[in-house]
Structures are given as structure tokens and as C-alpha cells.
Amino acid sequence: MKKIIYILALSIIPSFLTAQTEMKIGDFQKLSVYDGINVELIKSETNKVEITGKNTAYIVIKNKNGDLKIRLSVEKRFSGNRTKVSVFYKNIYSIISHEGANIFSKDTLNQADLNLKANSGSRQNMIVKLNTLQATATAGAKINIKGITKYQDFSATTGAEIMASKVENEEANAVSTTGALIDVSTTKDLKVNSKIGGIINVHKKTDKITEKISVGGAVNYLYED
């Protein structure tokens, strides 16, 4: 009898670990993710999510007026690091991460505009092809961006990082404060404002630079003339 129970247990465990839930979610343009959950963005003709990994039964998904929120229920808050949600989307213009969440896309987000916000230790990794990119990072969060834009506006505070040296663009505005870090690479017009220990690293020679530094801020020019 013990052998039979043991064999049954082994047969049950793999199906539990690889449990997957699929759900259609309707139209949305804004995404917010919480509780350390890992989210992959996938361009699609259908708006839906696929949930895999641990704690799948505790995932809470709400779509209110095109604002999609993904989090864990109260019993499992902040424990989503072993949970993955694949978000299949038609159109998305605002991506916000909170509480250690990790949002990434292997595909290029090819569209007119995009707004990224990373808060409270969360992470975002994006490849973009845009006219306008706005990115904000706070409280130890980190945004990694590659690709092409015409104009970008960056703001990083309280130890956060925006790493965008591999984004080709013509015009940019970057503000770094309270120990934050921004890496930027611009060809025509760059405005930088660094204060209260904020750091901005400039990786490409720019036709025009407007620089403002105060209260222990720093702007580093890391290219060769």
C-alpha cells in the first residue's frame, strides 16, 4: 500500500507544478503588475492571459475600463516570484510595475507612444520602436530599454535606474535625483538635470546639450570626442 501511495504522489506532483490557466480578458491599454509576479508581454490578435508556476490559484486579474491589474490575493501577497503570467495583447500604451514585479518583452513594442513606470524594486526589460517614450523609475526599481525612439523623457528617483544607452534617439530629457542613475544616448538635443546625488551617464556625443547640476548631482560623458 505504501508503494502505491508513493507512486500516486509522484504522478500528481508534476501536474501541480506545471498547472496552467488561460483566461480571456477583453480590451485593455494599460497594465499594472504587483507582488513580484513575472509577466511576459506577447503581441497578439487576442487579449488573454496564461498563468503558470506556483500560486496560480491565487492570481487576481481585474480589467476595469481598459486598465488591467494583475496581483496576488491577500494570502500570498509579495510571493509571486515563482509565478509567470503571459499577457497577450492587441494594443498597450502604459506599463506599470510595483512591489518587485518583473515585466519583460522578447518582441519589439512597435507603436507611436509608450509610457513605462517602475516602482518599489520592480523590473522592466523592453525592446522598443517608438516616436515618443516616457519612462519613470522610483524606489530602487530598474528599467532596461533597447531599440529606437525619436524623443524620450526619463525621470529616476531614490536609487532607481533607467538603462537606455542602447536606445537610438534624436532628442531626450533626463532627470536623476536622490541617488538614482540614468544611462542615455542621444544624437541631436539632450537636456540633463542631476541633483541630490543623482547620476546621468551620457554615452554618445550630442549636437546640443543643456546641463543642470545641483546638490551633489553628476553628469558623466563616457564617449570619446
**Residue range 25-104 in CATH 3.40.50.300:** no
Q: Do domains 25-104 and 108-224 have the same CATH topology?
A: yes
Domain 108-224: give its CATH code.
Answer: 2.160.20.120
- Asked if residue 5 has pLDDT above 50, the reply is no
For 140-191, write each residue's pLDDT tens digit: 999 999 999 999 999 999 999 999 999 999 999 999 999 999 999 999 999 9
Whose CA is closest to 123, among 106, 143, 107, 140?
A: 143
The angle subtended at Cα 107 by Cα 103 and Cα 108, nearest 5°, is 100
Give the pTM: 0.88
Cα of 225 vs its chain's centroid, Å: 33
The larger pLDDT score, comparing residue 201 to residue 6, is at: 201
For residue 10, what is the enclosing H or E element?
Answer: helix 2-17
For 110-153, write each residue's pLDDT tens digit: 999 999 999 999 999 999 999 999 999 999 999 999 999 999 99
Task: Kindly state the average pLDDT of the residues 87-110.
Answer: 97
Q: Which residues contact 144 (CB under 8 A, 6 or more apart)?
A: 123, 124, 125, 126, 163
Domain ranges of the chain: 25-104, 108-224
Whose CA is closest to 160, among 126, 184, 136, 137?
A: 137
Task: Kindly state the average pLDDT of the residues 206-225.
Answer: 92
Which amino acid, one-letter code, is at 220? N
- Asked if residue 49 has pLDDT above 90, the reply is yes
- Strand, helix or coil for residue 110: strand
* Strands 199-202 and 67-72, sheet pairing: unpaired
